[in-house]
Amino acid sequence: MKLSTILATGITLSCLSVNALALTIGFAQVGSESGWRTSFSESVKAEAKKRGIDLKFSDAQQKQENQIKAVRSFIAQGVDAIIIAPVVETGWKPVLREAKRARIPVVIVDRNIQVGDDSLFVTRIASDFSEEGRKAAQWLMDTTQGNCKIVELQGTVGATAAIDRAQGFNDVIGKYPNANIVRSQTGEFTRTKGKEVMESILKAENGGKGVCALWAHNDEMALGGIQAIKEAGLKPGSDILVVSVDGVPDYFKAMADGDANATVELSPHLGGPAFDVIEKYLGGDKNIPKLISTTGDLFTQDTAAAEYQKRRLQ
Ligand code: GYE
């Protein structure tokens, strides 16, 4: 018998007994636009399998309308809980109200939502994206003595990770009069678009001469940018410094090869904390903070080879 049916009878369960019951959970994932996203999805699926959770997984291919359709399908199936990794912050209120009416708890992971009513979700589990931007910027200012002409590859327009990483980065460089961003454009968090946009930025910036650094909101776009810098006849990692966020294996390889300089690691392991919250909530414990946040360390070339060896086999 599905847990939601049992709960509807008014029987209360201890947290332990919820663990023991086979939960059915819907997970509306953004897509598979980056290595980090793929690791995140694989980690959630593995964790669900380990816990005996029946996971209904949906890949929205970076389209919010697909995510909303998936959430409506989870509601129609009567799942015990729903996890959403929202592609953008706005447009979620109607479907979250439908989940609330169906008495299905929703947990937000990764990016944020703007709904003005925090009764529509149990909690958000995410990294502090602003802190990631601050760490990346501080490394660049320390490395260049605050004297740097920067080009920026932004993430998906309207996505919390893009908004907050930009804000954190700008807060730091704003303290350095000789550091500024001269070009900024979205590369949509993908390697292909990152390369394409960086090619156009380099053309607009005298072939990249005088550009001190590339700041990318994720490693995938940075790796595309690195390719564009090479094809423009410049050396990424030295002619143009490269700093990013995520900490995917390919980027550690690029740092070990001298083509990139620094990244702030973003853990892809959000499934465990999300399932813990759901089991706690369904077990009757409603004392859950509205934000459970983490942040990662900054990694540079000096440890990249060893870190790559550790990550490439995972
Ligand atoms: O940095 C990027 C993915 O939302 C924090 O989305 C996440 C970002 C991550 O496309 O690789």
Check pocket membership of 246 for ligand 1, CB cut-off 6 A: yes
Nearest CA among 178, 212, 215 for reference residue 197 = 215
**Whole-angstrom distance, CA of residue 56 vs CA of residue 100:** 19
Instruction: Indicate if 138 and 105 belong to the same structural domain.
Output: no
pLDDT of res. 1? 44
Instruction: Indicate if 92 and 184 belong to the same structural domain.
Output: no
**Of all residues in the chain, what percent carry a pLDDT higher than 90?**
91
Mean residue pLDDT across the chain: 94
pLDDT of res. 8? 54
Q: Parallel, antiparallel, or unpaired: how do β-strands 123-127 and 54-59 relate?
A: unpaired
Check pocket membership of 191 for ligand 1, CB cut-off 6 A: no
pLDDT of res. 294? 84
Strand partners, 54: 24
**Whole-angstrom distance, CA of residue 114 vs CA of residue 164:** 14
Sign of CA dihedral 117, 285, 4, 10: negative
Instruction: Indicate if 54 and 153 belong to the same structural domain.
Output: no
Pocket test for ligand 1, best of 37, 89, 215 (most atoms within 8 A of CB): 37
Bigger pLDDT: 22 vs 206: 206
Closest atom, ligand 1, to C-alpha of 245: 1
Residues in contact with 184: Cβ distance below 8 Å, sequence separation at least 6, in sequence order: 151, 152, 154, 166
If phi > 0 it is left, if psi is from -120 to 50 it is alpha, else beta; for residue 157 that is beta
Number of domains observed in the structure of the chain: 2
What separation in Å is there between the alpha carbon of 37 and the centre of ligand 1? 6
Check pocket membership of 220 for ligand 1, CB cut-off 6 A: yes
Residue 9 has pLDDT above 90, yes or no: no
Instruction: Indicate if 288 and 172 belong to the same structural domain.
Output: no
Location of structure tokens 């001298």? 258
Average pLDDT over residues 208-230: 98
pLDDT of res. 15? 47
Residue 26 has pLDDT above 90, yes or no: yes
Q: Model confidence over 139-173: pLDDT tens digits? A: 999 999 999 999 999 999 999 999 999 999 999 99
Residue 268 has pLDDT above 50, yes or no: yes
Instruction: Indicate if 171 and 307 belong to the same structural domain.
Output: yes
pLDDT of res. 3? 55
Location of structure tokens 């983490």? 294
Q: Model confidence over 64-123: pLDDT tens digits? A: 999 999 999 999 999 999 999 999 999 999 999 999 999 999 999 999 999 999 999 999
Instruction: Indicate if 304 and 288 belong to the same structural domain.
Output: no
292: three-class secondary structure by DSSP: strand
Encoded amino acid at 75, one letter = I
Pocket test for ligand 1, best of 189, 215, 244, 294 (most atoms within 8 A of CB): 189
DSSP codes joined into one string, 62-104 = T-HHHHHHHHHHHHHHT-SEEEE--SSSSS-HHHHHHHHHTT-
Instruction: Indicate if 202 and 275 belong to the same structural domain.
Output: no
What separation in Å is there between the alpha carbon of 285 and the centre of ligand 1? 31
Instruction: Indicate if 277 and 224 belong to the same structural domain.
Output: no
Instruction: Indicate if 148 and 96 belong to the same structural domain.
Output: no
Instruction: Indicate if 164 and 16 belong to the same structural domain.
Output: no
pLDDT of res. 25? 98
Instruction: Indicate if 147 and 252 belong to the same structural domain.
Output: yes
**Whole-angstrom distance, CA of residue 135 vs CA of residue 296:** 10
Check pocket membership of 161 for ligand 1, CB cut-off 6 A: yes
**Whole-angstrom distance, CA of residue 80 vs CA of residue 104:** 6
Q: What is the CATH number of the domain that holds 249?
A: 3.40.50.2300
Average pLDDT over residues 43-59: 97
**Whole-angstrom distance, CA of residue 177 vs CA of residue 175:** 6
pLDDT of res. 166? 98
**Whole-angstrom distance, CA of residue 246 vs CA of residue 38:** 12
**Do residues 216 and 165 lie in contact, with contact meaning Cβ atoms separated by under 8 Å?**
no
Angle 300-302-305 from CA coordinates, rounded to 5°: 95
Chain-centroid distance, C-alpha 181: 23
Which domain covers residue 13, as residue numbers?
3-126+268-294
pLDDT of res. 314? 73
Bigger pLDDT: 312 vs 80: 80
Instruction: Indicate if 7 and 136 belong to the same structural domain.
Output: no
Chain-centroid distance, C-alpha 231: 29
Residue 129 has pLDDT above 90, yes or no: yes
